[in-house]
Structure formats: C-alpha cells, structure tokens
C-alpha cells in the first residue's frame, strides 16, 4: 500500500502537492485568457466597424444637433434651442403626422398582401419558385427605379396607368394622379405595397416552411378548417417572422423618402420627415436644425420598434 | 476585453477627429503674380463638373490632358441635384477640389461664406475679359471682388415649330407675351390630333423660372429687387408678373397645353416639342441636341424669350469656374481655366448644345456653322441676366418652393391675386431668415 500510494504520488504529483493544484488553475486560467483574446480579436473588426460607422457618427450627430451648424461656414453651440424650435415648427409637425398616417395605411397593406402571397406559395408546387421570384423582383429593382418608372407611367394621357384604368372604365385617360393629395397618396401607397410585399412574402414563407407538417396533420385529424389552422397554428408559430417583417416595414415607412421626393415633392401635405430633414439640411443649409429633427426621428423609430418587439414577443418564453 | 474596447474607441475617435479636421490653407487671395499664376503648372487638378452640363468637359478634359504633359485634370462629375451639397461637404471636410464648374446661381451662397478664392486680378488680365458674358461675370462678383469667371452658358430661349406656324399663318416668333398667347391659340385652333400650341413643365419650378422669369426681366422687372443685403420683394400687385401668370392661365384654360404639362417634373421636358407636336416651347437652348438628333432641325426656329411688353431677355444660366480656398493646385486650375476660355474650346461648346461665354467667338464662320447658337449668344450678350441673391434655391428651385406655389395656384387654379399675396410674404420671410443668419 505504501508503495502504491508512493507510486500514485509519483505518477500524479499535480494532484497531491500544493504546486500541483496551483498548476491546474494556471492551465485553466491561461486557456480561458487565450480563448478570451481569440474571441476579442475575432470580434474586433465588427466592433471597430460599429464604433466608427454607427456609434461615433451617432454621437457626433447629437453634437451637431446642439449647434447651428450650417452646410457652409462656421458654427457655434446653441444648446437645446433646435429641439425647442422643432416642437413649434408646423412644417416639421405636419411631416411627422403625415409619416405616421402613411405608416398606418401602408403597413397593414404590405403585410396582408405579403402574407397572402406567402400562403399561396408556401407549398413547393410547380411554378412556386418562379412566382416567388416575380413577386420579389420589384424589391430587387429598388424603390428609386420603381418610383421613376411610375413617374412616367402615372403621366396623364401618355402613361400606362391611365391607359389601363381607362380601358377598364376605372379612371379617365387624363387623370393627374400626383397633383392632388388623395390620388397622390393612393398612388404611392399602391406602388409601395407592390414594391415591399415581396420582401414580407419572403420572410413569412421562410417562417411558414419552418412549421412542421405534423402539427397541421394533427389539427386536421381533430377536424380543423383552413381558417382554424391559419389562426391557431400558423399565425402563433409565425410570431417571430411577423415581428421581423413588421419591424422592417414600419422602419422603412418612417424613413420614406425616394417615392415621395420623386413622385410628389411639390405637394407640401405629402412631405415625410426624411424629406423635411433633407430639405432643411441641403436646401436651407441648416444642418444643425435638420440633425435635431433626425435625432427626434431616431428616438421615435427606436421607441416604436421596442414596442413592437415587446408586443410580439413569444409569451411562452 | 474592456481595455480592448477602450483602446479601439480611442483610436477610432482619433482617426475620425483628424479626418474631420479643419481645412488646410484658407487663403482667399493667391499671392502669385498674374504672369506666373496658371503658367506651366504641374501636378493634378481635381475638377468638379455637375451633371447636365458635362458633355463638353467629357471631351475637352482629355484633350487638355493630352496637350499639357505634366498637368493632369481629373474630372469628377457631381449629381445634378446635389452638386452644391457635394462641394459644401468637401469644403467642410477640408478636402476641397481645385476647380469647380459651379452653377452660377449658387455662387453667391459660397461667396458669402468666404469659401472661394478672390480671382479679380487674374480675371481682369485675361485676354478675353472684355468679351466675357457680363451677366455671368456679375454673378461671380461679391462685395467688389470677382470670385468666379464664366465657363459655359446654358441660356433660355423661345423655340418654335416653323411648320405649325406656317399652317396657322403666323409669320414669325412672338414678340410679346400677348402675341405668344394669340399664337398658341391659333395653333390650337388648327385642331390637329395630338398637337398643342405650347408646352411647359408645370411641375418643375426650376424649369418655369428658367424659361419664364426672363419674360418679366425684359421689362426690367426682377421680382427680387436691389442688392444683397438690402433686397426687397416685388411680387404682390406686380403688373408684369400678373400679366405673365394670367397669360399662362389663359393658355391652360384654353387647352393650348397638354394635360400632362401639369405633372411634368422636367423628366420629359421638351420631348413632345422634339416630336413635332408643339408650336411654342420656351426652354433651354440645350433642347438643340434633341432637335438636331431628330433630323428635322430645319423645322424649328429659335428666338429670344418675349418680354411682357416687348424686347427680349434670357436667363444667364450655366456654370462659372470657381477655385475654393484651400485648393491644393490653384495655379494648375487656372491654367485649365485659361485654356477653356480660348476661342477653340469655347466654340467646341456649341457642338454639345451649350453656349460660349466669350462673345468674340461670333464670327462669320461660327454664325454659318452654328446659326441657332448664334441667336443664343446674341440674346445673352444683349439681354442676359440672372439674379444675385441668397434665396434663389429656397425661394424658387426647391420642391414646394414659394415660386412653385405661386405658379401652380395662378396658372392651374386661376388664383393669381391670392397666390401673389402668399408668395410676397413667403419670399420676404426667406430674405429675413437668410439675412438673420438662421
């Protein structure tokens, strides 16, 4: 026994001696430090990117918003006077109100159309891929190109929209869509719904295809109708995808610029917040004041996004 | 890990603060003598040219580089709608270009912020100085010094369709606004399918100012009167302006213009005229390139824009050369400017639908080769004008500007009186806010 314990001691001095226990801790500590360093090195390019292109500009923008920074020339610190002026600026408040209205109109439209397309195409039948590509194509082309296309097609007497609608008896051949508030807003909402529903369709299709077929089969055994399956199975299980598509859609609506600038820039009632910011910064050269408006928008968008994520979180978690 | 974050943050901040640092030299007046400035310069010249008037530069810059070894001009085309913000951002970043072909209507804004070099002595020493377009020169003047020299002209004129005029028994282009209305009515009365008396871009405020304001200027009525900083607005009750707005309203009501003119943002401006369907077309001289390519150029004529009560005028549009303070190769930039103002290069502008700014190019050969541009040069030399004001962009060019509201309310809705009252107030407010430095 003594020999065995002596042999044991000789074989594993680290397990019995004080220095042996300390060596074990050193090995683990050195390993975990190496792992931490490796992790930091791998993450540092992304961190630098975020610091340089997101956090620093955000901080600098806050600073600019506290000055009377012009596009050309010198500036000085003005404190919060830009912000106090904003809340009394009727043009800015009108742009906020309009942007909210536009978001409320266009978000459900995009979701409903996108969901409908996803429901139609979720099964991989023949032709489904082709249709999915076709419906996603406007998104690929880009909203600026789409807006310019429709600037031509919405022209009275010569555009395709009036031609088609007049043949169907739905509008006159010389309707001026972009001159009046109601028709301009309708035209833009239809165009944006057509443009953006493809992306919603794609997100929801991915979510739908992730739902196991067994769940539906079990429901069918219990006598569930198509509507029961959609309402009680698909929608709840699609919560995360719905949240993602709504967040993207609402943020996109709050940042709307291209379509209104190209199609309806001369109608003041159709000015979005981003148009107001652009015009204030680059037409009136008041970059400090415009940046205050931009900060306002950042806060609003962040608050609405947080609210959505809270409301749409998976309550079982 | 925390230390790493802190180090990265500090390094990134330092780099960015350095990058956003102030400009280099901010000398407004170069010290070089007239005889040495712009002579045998070397190096690179970064030249900002705005899109829309770049056709000649695309050809002439390589030609300059080929003939000037040791000095290379690097052409940078800036967006048509953001050329001023691109330049302003470059100046703010402390990295201005060496030379800019700046829209002449924007020069005053940059002058007033001390961002351009004083070129007075060099401009006055140019051999072409006495022949330079006076209107373009005036736009480059600020507080007694000259900060810009004319580069190319993009003037407004009255195009007319000779075939339609013959059919309507109209002997020549209209000489007054009232005649323009009569002629448009006569052409419309021909009732030719798809044919109209006049065409204009009713949703393009810049276009309507460019092609319409000279009708008032011909009568020395400028709407924005006086010199900076003591300008005043003369819109409400302005007889010439009222007559002009009413003339356009009458033509609109009579159906002399296509319905699509109300929504034409300028994207398709002139396409209907170039297809032979419109009798009268107040627009830019650069319409020439579309007409020349239509192979029916002989069917079209050009004249000065008719004044409300006669005489003619034109908008001295186009670009002036400016050198920002802090330019690294101002001498090289000036050498290029001197070359561009020579007769050969100025004559070459005519090939691209642009108008020379050096009046001495008008000789028998130029008149024979470019008869249409000859009219434009003569009108520019005689009646060219453009307003020197700080509020041009905000009052006129920008979306939903007071000028746009004035034009559309008066012309499409017939509310001339109330539109003038609103515009008077809006224009005046812009003058006040600009002069208060906000």
SS (H, E, C) B316-333: CCEEEEECECCCCCHHHH
Distance from CA of A255 to the nearest CA of B (A): 18
Are B92 and A72 within 8 A, CB to CB?
yes
Q: Complex ipTM, two decimals? A: 0.81
Interface of A with B in 274-313 (CB under 8 A): 275, 279, 281-286
For range B315-341, the mean pLDDT: 96
pLDDT, residue A123, reads 72
Q: Alpha-carbon dihedral of residues B257, B259, B260, B266, nearest 10 degrees?
A: 40
Average pLDDT over residues A62-67: 97
Higher-scoring residue by pLDDT: B48, B434: B48
Lay out the sheet containing B384-385: strands in order across.
B305-306, B312-315, B384-385
What is A84-311's CATH superfamily? MetI-like (1.10.3720.10)
DSSP summary character for residue B142: E
Q: What's the confidence (pLDDT) of residue B31?
A: 82
Chain B: residue whose CA lies nearest to A180: B263
The residue with tokens 């299709």 is A205
Coil, helix or strand for B281?
strand
Band (A11; pLDDT cuts 50, 70, 90): very low
pLDDT at residue B427, as a whole number: 96
Section B345-361 average pLDDT: 93
Highest-pLDDT range among A81-90, B105-114, B285-294 = A81-90
Q: Does B409 touch chain A (CB under 8 A)?
A: no
Q: What angle do CA A22, A25, A31 make, to 5 degrees?
A: 140
Domains (ranges, CATH) in chain B? 29-154+317-385 (3.40.190.10), 156-315+391-435 (3.40.190.10)
What is the rounded distance in angstroms from the CA atom of residue B269 to the CA atom of residue B258?
Answer: 12
Q: Rounded distance, CA B366 to CA B349, Å?
A: 12
The position carrying tokens 């069917």 is B299
Residue of B nearest to A173 (CA): B259
Write down the domain spans for chain A: 2-65, 84-311
pLDDT given at position B3:
55
- pLDDT-derived band at B18 (thresholds 50, 70, 90) equals very low
Report, as an integer, the average pLDDT of A31-58: 94
Within 8 A of A44 by CB-CB distance, chain B residues are 4, 8
According to the model, what pLDDT value does residue A79 have?
94
Give residue-wise pLDDT tens across range A168-211: 998 888 888 998 899 999 999 999 999 999 999 999 999 998 88
Please give the pLDDT value at position A54.
Answer: 94
pLDDT digits (tens, 9 = 90+) for B60-72: 999 999 999 999 9
Average pLDDT over residues A237-247: 92
Interface probe for A, chosen from B399, B407, B434 (most Cβ of A below 10 Å), is B399
Q: What per-residue confidence (pLDDT) applies to A17?
A: 43
Instruction: Determine whether B401 is exposed, middle or buried from the number of CB atoms within 10 Å of its CB (0-12, 13-18, 19+).
Output: buried
Q: Please indicate whether, in this complex, the C-beta atoms of A179 and B265 are within 8 angstroms of each other.
A: no
Q: Shortest CB distance from A56 goes to which of B13, B262, B398?
A: B13
Q: Structure pTM?
A: 0.83
Closest CA to B340 of B148, B64, B109: B64
Tokens at B159, concatenated: 């195009």
Confidence of residue B433 (pLDDT cuts 50, 70, 90): confident
Q: Does A314 touch chain B (CB under 8 A)?
A: no
Measured at the alpha carbon of residue A281, what is the angle toward residues B81 and A95, in degrees to the nearest 5?
100
> Of A273, A267, A232, A235, which Cα lies nearest the Cα of A253?
A273
From chain B, the residues in CB contact with A179 under 8 A are 203, 262-263, 412
Average pLDDT over residues A132-158: 92
Choose, out of A153, A262, A284, A287, the residue to mutate when testing the contact with B (most B CBs < 10 Å).
A284
Among A88-92, A124-128, A157-161, the range scoring the smallest mean pLDDT is A124-128
pLDDT at B437 over 80: no
d(CA B244, CA B239): 9
Contact B263 A179 (CB under 8 A): yes
Residue A44, chain B, CB below 8 Å: the answer is yes
Please give, rounded to a whole number of angstroms, the shortest distance from the CA of B399 to a CA of chain A.
5
Nearest to A116 by CA among A51, A207, A201, A50: A201
Q: Which of A1-10, A267-276, B125-134, B231-240 has the lowest mean pLDDT?
A: A1-10
CB neighbourhood size of A247 (10 A): 16
Q: Kindly tell me if the per-residue pLDDT of B111 is higher than 50.
A: yes
């Amino acid at each position: 026994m003594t020999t065995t314990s002596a042999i044991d001691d000789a074989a594993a001095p680290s397990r019995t001696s004080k220095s042996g226990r300390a060596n074990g801790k050193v090995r683990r500590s050195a390993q975990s430090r190496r792992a931490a360093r490796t992790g930091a090195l791998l993450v540092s390019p992304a961190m630098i990117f975020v610091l340089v292109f997101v956090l620093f500009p955000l901080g600098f923008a806050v600073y600019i918003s506290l000055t009377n920074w012009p596009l050309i020339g010198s500036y000085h610190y003005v404190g919060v006077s830009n912000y106090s002026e904003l809340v009394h600026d009727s043009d800015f408040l009108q742009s906020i109100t309009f942007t909210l209205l536009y978001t409320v109109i266009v978000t459900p439209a995009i979701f409903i159309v996108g969901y409908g397309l996803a429901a139609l195409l979720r099964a991989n039948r023949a032709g489904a891929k082709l249709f999915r590509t076709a419906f996603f194509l406007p998104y690929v082309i880009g909203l600026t190109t789409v807006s310019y296309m429709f600037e031509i097609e919405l022209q009275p007497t010569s555009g395709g929209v009036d031609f088609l609608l007049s043949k169907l008896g739905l509008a006159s051949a010389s309707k001026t869509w972009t001159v009046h508030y109601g028709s301009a807003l309708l035209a833009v909402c239809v165009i944006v719904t057509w443009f953006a529903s493809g992306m919603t369709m794609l997100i929801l299709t991915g979510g739908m295809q992730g739902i196991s077929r067994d769940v539906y089969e079990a429901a069918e055994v219990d006598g569930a109708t198509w509507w029961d399956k959609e309402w009680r199975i698909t929608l709840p299980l699609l919560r995360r995808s719905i949240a993602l598509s709504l967040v993207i859609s609402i943020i996109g609506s709050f940042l709307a610029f291209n379509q209104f600038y190209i199609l309806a820039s001369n109608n003041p009632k159709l000015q979005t917040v981003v148009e107001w910011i652009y015009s204030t910064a680059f037409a009136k050269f008041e970059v400090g004041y415009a940046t205050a408006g931009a900060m306002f928008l950042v806060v609003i968008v962040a608050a609405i996004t947080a609210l959505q994520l809270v409301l749409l979180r998976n309550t079982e978690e | 890990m925390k230390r790493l974050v802190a180090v990265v943050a500090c390094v990134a901040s330092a780099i960015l603060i350095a990058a956003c640092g102030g400009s280099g030299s901010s000398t407004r007046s170069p010290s070089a003598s007239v005889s040495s400035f712009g002579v045998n310069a070397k190096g690179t010249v970064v030249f900002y040219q705005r899109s829309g008037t770049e056709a000649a530069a695309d050809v002439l810059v390589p030609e300059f580089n080929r003939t000037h070894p040791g000095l290379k001009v690097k052409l940078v085309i800036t967006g048509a709608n953001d050329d001023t913000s691109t330049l302003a951002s470059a100046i703010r970043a402390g990295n201005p270009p060496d030379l800019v072909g700046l829209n002449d209507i924007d020069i005053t804004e940059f002058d007033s912020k001390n961002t351009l070099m004083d070129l007075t002595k060099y401009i006055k020493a140019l051999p072409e100085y006495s022949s330079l377009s006076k209107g373009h020169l005036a736009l480059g003047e600020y507080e007694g010094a000259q900060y810009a020299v004319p580069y190319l002209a993009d003037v407004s004129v009255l195009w007319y369709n000779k075939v339609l005029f013959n059919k309507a028994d109209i002997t020549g282009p209209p000489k007054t606004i009232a005649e323009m209305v009569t002629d448009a009515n006569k052409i419309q009365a021909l009732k030719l399918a798809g044919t109209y008396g006049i065409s204009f871009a009713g949703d393009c405020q810049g276009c309507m100012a460019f092609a319409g304001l000279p009708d008032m200027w011909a009568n020395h009525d400028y709407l924005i009167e006086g010199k900076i900083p003591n300008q005043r607005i003369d819109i409400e009750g302005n007889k010439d302006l009222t007559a002009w707005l009413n003339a356009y309203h009458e033509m609109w009501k009579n159906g002399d213009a296509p319905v699509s003119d109300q929504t034409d943002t300028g994207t398709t401006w002139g396409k209907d005229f170039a297809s032979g369907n419109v009798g009268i077309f107040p627009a830019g001289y650069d319409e020439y390139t579309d007409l020349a390519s239509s192979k029916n150029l002989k069917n079209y004529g050009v004249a000065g824009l008719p004044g409300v009560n006669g005489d003619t005028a034109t908008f001295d549009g186009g670009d002036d050369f400016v050198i920002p303070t802090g330019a690294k190769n101002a001498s090289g930039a000036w050498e290029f400017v001197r070359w561009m103002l020579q007769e050969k290069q100025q004559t070459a502008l005519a090939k691209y639908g642009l108008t020379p700014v050096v009046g001495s190019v008008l000789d028998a050969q130029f008149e024979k080769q470019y008869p249409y541009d000859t009219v434009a040069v003569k009108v520019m030399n005689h009646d060219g004008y453009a307003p020197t004001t700080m509020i041009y962009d905000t009052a006129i060019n920008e979306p939903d500007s007071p000028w746009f509201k004035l034009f559309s309310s008066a012309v499409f809705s017939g509310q001339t009186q109330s539109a003038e009252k609103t515009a008077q107030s809006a224009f005046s407010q812009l003058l006040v806010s600009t002069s208060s430095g906000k």
